[in-house]
Amino acid sequence: MSSREYDEELRAEREYVAGLYARLDAERAAAKRRYSVALRGDGESAMEREFEVRALGREVKRLDVADNGLCFGRLEAVTGERSYIGRIGLFDRDDEYEPLLLDWRAPAARAFYVATAASPENMRGRRQFHTRGRRILEFTDEVLGRPDGDQRGDAALLAAVNAPRGAGMRDIVATIQAEQDEIIRLDHPGVLVIEGGPGTGKTVVALHRVAYLLYTQRERMQRHGVLVVGPNPAFLNHIGRVLPSLGESNVVFMTAGDFVPGRHVTAEDTATAARLKGSLKILDVLRAAIADRQRLPEQPYLIELADVTVRIDAETVEWAREEARASGRPHNEARAVFREIVTYVLTERAIARIGRGWLTRDEREAWEQLREDLVAELAEHEAFIAALDDLWPILTPDALLSSLYESPERLAAAGADPALFRVDGAAWTVSDTPMLDELVDLLGAEGPPADDAERARKAEAEYAAGVLDILVDRADLMDDEDHLLAQDMLYAEDLADRFLERDTRELVERAAADRTWTYRHVVVDEAQELSEMDWRVLMRRCPNRSFTVVGDLAQRRSAAGADSWASMLEPYVPRRWAYRSLTVNYRTPAEIMDVAAAVLAEFAPAVRPPESVRACGVQPWAREVTEDELAGAVEEFVRAESGRDGTSVVIGPSDVPGAVAASETKGLEFDAVLVVDPERILADGPRGAAELYVALTRATQRLGVLYRGTLPEALSGLADSPSPVGAGDRTAP
């Protein structure tokens, strides 16, 4: 194509994209007008108004996110038909809804990501736009259908991976690669494991998979939302903009320390305590700790009533305890059974003594009246209530677990390892969170059970909500012979409106605050760090077992984490989970990956490092410093990087000025990384090598290492540098 022809094509593409933006602006303005009208709700019921307001609110958000990079490419079929690919779909409403722009998730757009010269997918060519704001700056063309041609033009991809990093992760809708697209669109309804080394894009692929599922299964998923679990708050902040940028907002983000609503825990246990608490064997400890609080009296309790004194003896309590445990109810709810048995025994004994000589069982009416009086007296009797509290106390998860940790005797009685002892039992750690969550179920409600009317109302409400879910699911699964009538949906909505108190909070707010909320899909990132107990919590949150699991076993640092995916998943989805791997490193340049690969070879020799797609031309370096020189060397690095575009970080032990731990950078990426005291990172427990591997693979452009004493053997290939400033100079050694 000549320069003149290129300029003419560029002008034509700019005009077309300008027309798309004009269409976008018109649709957005119309949606906002309809939204304003819906808010007024003239002549509509509250339920109809709320439904319309929510739907139009979602449409406005969908249109708002498309401003930046609305259209990023074009496909030309062998028939000559052209299709433009972008963030959302736009249609010509005046021409039988002819597509003007294909949503990147639409089946017809798939060729844009997977077509190659050898496998053109019936396409003749692919054009990729480089845009800024609403304007196309330039484009590149690839000719498809030539077996001897390039597999995929890399101009757009390399521009993206070489660009300076910003404050958060960016979406990759314009540069999705074929192996990534296959995973994003994989038709697997259950658990999908995506494993990949550093820089392979596994996190962003998982997030785009969520966006794809929400696009293809909107009705099934939007009422329940999606849960994304990450390793730490910094990581969640880093990825938090990806899904909103793709028009998806019904997503709850949390860490394992957030599993209990209203509680945010970040402190970590020792490796030994984390391993003990993370194992499913801790369930036996929790059950035994509860049973230990259901005790028999050493001496009988004397209950002085108005007319007689009765005893609560060990035999009575043992019978009541057996009946309460046999009920299968949680501890607090089983107290009602325990109390009922004890009350029965005491009233029988009291009646026998009060009525001795004049009252027989044949005098049923007098007998029952006396029983009612005694039951009423016991219900208000302070000594009786105190005895029940001693023998079968109402327990809360916090109180039970903290008192267990603080008492060597209670730990021993529950069969727990003495290593779980701590002085401050309520100093919660991340490993405690799934235990506290489990205790909610084991203990049950703290207050008295709801009365019959309240239970009936809740049952009817749950039934109504269930009808809605069934109808929505059926609508998604209908074949040509299925018929779903409008009145079916209206009846279900009427039921829900009748029995459910309307909650005007957004879905994300409601879901995050409700422990019993169940999600239609869950994404677990850095999943190798999750314990067996963590997985137990998550499986409760997603009964239909729809998961995208992302991780890298070679990067595991938690003593309670996964040694294999099967060990964590088989108990819940036996032989019903799929595994896919990503092998191409899009983040870490070859120069840095060679250094990290040497560390990987030492602690995981069977693991093959991902292959980098690029080199950056900057050699990583190492520099020995003394104790007195360390602070100045760190400051020199920070000062040098502050004058460059992009982001930087110092990773090292906690006593290094300005440094963060490698664990806090998991899943993050920076243009420049300075690793301090790698020998101390290696020495920090059995997973120190994995920590160092993580630290070395965070950089996208520049990597430096400061060490005191001896440089680890795995890093011996690093070039010496007299100054951290030289790390950014492509002529540096």
Phi/psi zone of residue 247: left (φ > 0), alpha (ψ -120 to 50 degrees), beta? left
d(CA 280, CA 539): 14
- Between the two ends of the chain, the Cα-to-Cα distance in Å is 41
Nearest to 592 by CA among 701, 437, 494: 701
Pairing of strands 251-255, 71-77: unpaired
The answer to whether the beta carbons of residues 211 and 139 sit under 8 Å apart is no
Q: Tell me how far apart the alpha carbons of residues 187 and 207 are, in angstroms, rounded to a whole number.
A: 16
What DSSP letter does each residue of 21-51 carry, written as one string? HHHHHHHHHHHHHHHHHHHH-TT--HHHHHH
Between CA 312 and CA 213 the distance in angstroms is: 60
Is 201 annotated in a binding site? The answer is yes
* Cβ count near 148 (within 10 Å): 6
d(CA 276, CA 533): 10
Any idea which residue has 């939302």 for tokens?
Answer: 225
How far apart are alpha carbons 26 and 642 in whole angstroms? 42
pLDDT bucket at 155, cuts 50 / 70 / 90: low
Establish whether 196 is an annotated binding residue.
yes
Q: Among candidates 231, 183, 197, 199, which has minimal Cα distance to 579? A: 183
d(CA 145, CA 147): 6
Given a contact cutoff of 8 angstroms between Cβ atoms, the answer to whether 673 and 638 are in contact is no
At residue 588, what are phi and psi to the nearest 5 degrees? -90, 120
Contact present, 316 and 347 (Cβ < 8 Å): no
Tokens standing for 119? 């496998």
The model's pLDDT over 177-232, given as tens digits with 9 standing for 90+, comes to: 999 999 999 999 899 999 999 999 999 999 999 999 999 988 888 889 999 999 99
For residues 192 and 548, give the distance between their C-alpha atoms in angstroms, rounded to a whole number.
Answer: 5
Q: Work out the number of other CB atoms within 10 angstroms of the CB of residue 438.
A: 21
Threshold 0.75, pTM exceeds: yes
Is 328 annotated as contributing to ligand binding? Answer: no
Q: Which residue has the tokens 């996190």?
A: 203
The predicted-structure confidence for 546-571, as pLDDT tens digits, reads as follows 999 999 999 998 999 999 999 999 99
Separation of alpha carbons 182 and 209, rounded Å: 10
State yes or no: pLDDT of 466 exceeds 90. no
Give the ranges where 560-675 is alpha helix by DSSP (H). Answer: 565-569, 590-603, 627-642
**Is 202 annotated as contributing to ligand binding?**
yes
593-650 pLDDT, tens digit per residue, is 999 999 999 888 999 999 998 899 999 999 999 999 999 999 999 999 998 989 999 9
Between strands 621-624 and 699-707, the pairing is parallel
User: Could you report the per-residue pLDDT of 307-330, keeping only the tens digit for each?
Assistant: 899 999 999 999 999 999 999 999
Query: Counting Cβ atoms within 10 Å, is residue 732 exposed (0-12), middle (13-18) or buried (19+)?
Result: middle
Which residue from 623, 590, 647 is spatially nearest to 726, judged by alpha carbons?
623
Q: In what order do the strands lie in the sheet containing 699-707?
A: 648-651, 670-676, 699-707, 621-624, 719-720
Q: In terms of C-beta density within 10 A (0-12 exposed, 13-18 middle, 19 or more buried), how is residue 99 classed?
A: middle
Whether 203 has a binding-site annotation, put simply, is: yes
Q: Is the dihedral of CA 639, 645, 647, 652 positive or negative?
A: negative
Q: What is the length of the chain?
A: 733
pLDDT the model gives residue 251: 92
- For the stretch 262-314, pLDDT in tens is 999 999 999 999 999 999 999 999 999 999 999 999 999 999 999 899 999 99
pLDDT band at 722 (very low <50, low <70, confident <90, very high): low
Whether the predicted pLDDT of 106 surpasses 70:
yes
- Higher pLDDT residue, 346 or 687? 346
355 annotated ligand binder: no
Structure-block tokens of residue 63? 């249109």
309 labelled binding-site residue: no
Distance CA 114, CA 644 (A): 36
Give me the amino acid identity at 237.
N
- pLDDT higher than 90, residue 719: no
Give per-residue pLDDT as tens, 127-149.
999 988 899 999 999 888 765 55
Of 82, 175, 77, 184, the closest CA to residue 131 belongs to: 175
- pLDDT, residue 687, reads 82
Q: Report the alpha-carbon distance of residue 292 to residue 403 in Å, rounded.
A: 12
Phi, psi of 195, rounded to the nearest 5 degrees: -110, 140
Predicted confidence (pLDDT) per residue in 41-81, tens digit: 766 666 677 777 878 887 888 888 778 889 999 999 999 99
pLDDT, residue 600, reads 93
Grouping H, G, I as helix, E, B as strand and the rest as coil, residue 202 is: helix
Structure tokens at 630: 């360390």
- The answer to the question of whether 32 is labelled as a binding residue is no
**Closest to 637 measured CA to CA, from 668, 627, 625:** 625
